[in-house]
Structure 1
Amino acid sequence: MDFVKALIDNKLLLTGSFVLTSGKISPYYLDLRRLSNYYDVFSDTVNKAIDKIKKIEFDMVIGIATGGVPFASFIACRIGKPLGYIRMERKGYGTDKILEADVKGKRIVLVDDVATTGGSLSKAVEAITSEGGRVVASLVIVDREEGAEKKLAEQGVQLISVYKIREILEYLLNSNLISENDKNNIREYLVKNIG
C-alpha cells in the first residue's frame, strides 16, 4: 500500500512507545500533521476523502486545529465550500473564540487528521452545535478504531475515514518495513485495543 510506505519513508508512522492524547500508551504513532509536506501522497489522500463525502449534503468544512486544518483547507478549496476551524482550547486573548466560523443554520463536515477515542471530535461537535450548526459527518484520514465511531454515533454523527488503522497495520505486519519486536508489540496492542 503506497500510503503506508509513504508514512514509513517520511517518518509519519513511527514505532516504539508513545503516549497518545487519550493517555493510552501505543506501540505506534501517526504524525499526520506533516502529511501535507508531501504533496503527492497528501493530494491523493484529499482526493480519496472527497470521494468518501461526495454524496453528503453539507454547507461548510470545519477543521480541528491543528492536524485537521490543512486537510480541511485542501478539501474545501477543491470542492468550493467555505472553510472554518475550531480550537480545542480558548486562545486567551482577542475575541477568545474556540470556533472561527459562522455555522448558524449550516450543515458541517468536521475534519481532523486522526480519530482515536473521539474526544476531540465530540468536543468539536458540541461547540458547533452550541453555535447553531449541525455536524452531518466527521471525516478523518485515519480512524484508529478505538471508540471514536461509537462516541460520535451517540451524537448522531457518522465517522468517515480514508483509512482504518487495521488495514494500515495489517499491511505493516506483512511487510519488512518494521522489526519483529515492533510487529509483536503492534499485534499485542491490536488484540487488546481493537479486538
Structure 2
Amino acid sequence: MDFIKSLVENKLLLIGNFVLTSGKISPYYLDLRRLSNYYEIFSDTVNKAIDKIKNIDFDMIIGIATGGMPFASFISCRMGKPLGYIRMEKKGYGTDKILEADVSGKKILLVDDVATTGGSLSKAVEVINSEGGRVVASLVIVDREEGAEKKLDEYGVKLISVYKIREILEYLLNSSLISDNDKNNIKEYLVKNIE
C-alpha cells in the first residue's frame, strides 16, 4: 500500500519505544505532522477523507492544533467549509482562548491527525459543546484503535478514520520493512492494546 510505504520511507512511522500523549509506551510512533510535506500522498489521504465524510451534515471544521491543522485546512478548502481550531491548553497571553472559532449553533466536524485513547478529542468536544457548538463527527487520518472510538461514542460523536492502525501494522508484519524483533514487539503490543 502506497500510504504505508510512504510512512516508512519518509520516517513518518517510526519503530522503537515512544511515550504517547496518553502516557502509554508504544513500539511505534506515527509522526503525521509532516505528512503534508509529501503532497501526493497527503492529497490522496485528503481525497479519501472527503469521500468518507461526504454524507455528513456539518457547518464548520475545527482542527486540533497542531497535528490536525494541515489536514483540516486542506479539507476546508476543498469542501468550501469554514475553519477554526482548538488548542489543548490556553496560550497565556492575548485573548487566552482555547477555541479560535465562533461555533455557537453550528454542527462541527472535529479533525485531528491521530486518535489513540480519545483524550484530546473528547476534551475538544467538551470545549466546543460548552461554546454552543455540536460536534457531529470526528475525523482522523489514523485511528490507533486504543479506545478513542468508544470514548467519543460516550459523547454521541462518531469517529471516522481514513486508516486503521491494524491494517498498517499487519502490512508491516508481512513485509521486510522492519526487523523480526520489531515485528515481535508490535505483535505483543497489538495483542495487549488494540481493541
Instruction: Give the TM-score normalised by structure 2.
Output: 0.99
Runs of 4+ in structure 1 off by over 6 angstroms are none
For 1:126, the equivalent position in structure 2 comes to: 126
Percentage identity across paired residues of the two chains: 86
SS in 1 for 2:61: strand
CA distance in 2, matches of 1:160, 1:174: 26
For 2:52, the equivalent position in structure 1 comes to: 52
SS in 1 for 2:76: helix
Q: Give yes or no for the alignment of 1:85 onto 2:85.
A: yes
- Deviation readout 1:160-179 (Å, 9 max, x if unpaired): 00000000000010001111
SS in 2 for 1:5: helix
The AA in structure 2 aligned to 1:166 is R
SS in 2 for 1:142: strand
The AA in structure 2 aligned to 1:36 is S
For 2:178, the equivalent position in structure 1 comes to: 178
Count of residue pairs brought into register by the alignment: 195
CA distance in 1, matches of 2:85, 2:47: 20
For 1:102, the equivalent position in structure 2 comes to: 102
- Counterparts in 2 of 1:1-195, with a 5 A limit? 1-194=1-194
- Deviation readout 1:128-170 (Å, 9 max, x if unpaired): 0000000000000000000000000000000000000000000
The AA in structure 1 aligned to 2:117 is T
Gaps of 5+ in 1: none
SS in 1 for 2:33: helix
The AA in structure 2 aligned to 1:152 is L
SS in 2 for 1:67: coil
SS in 1 for 2:43: helix
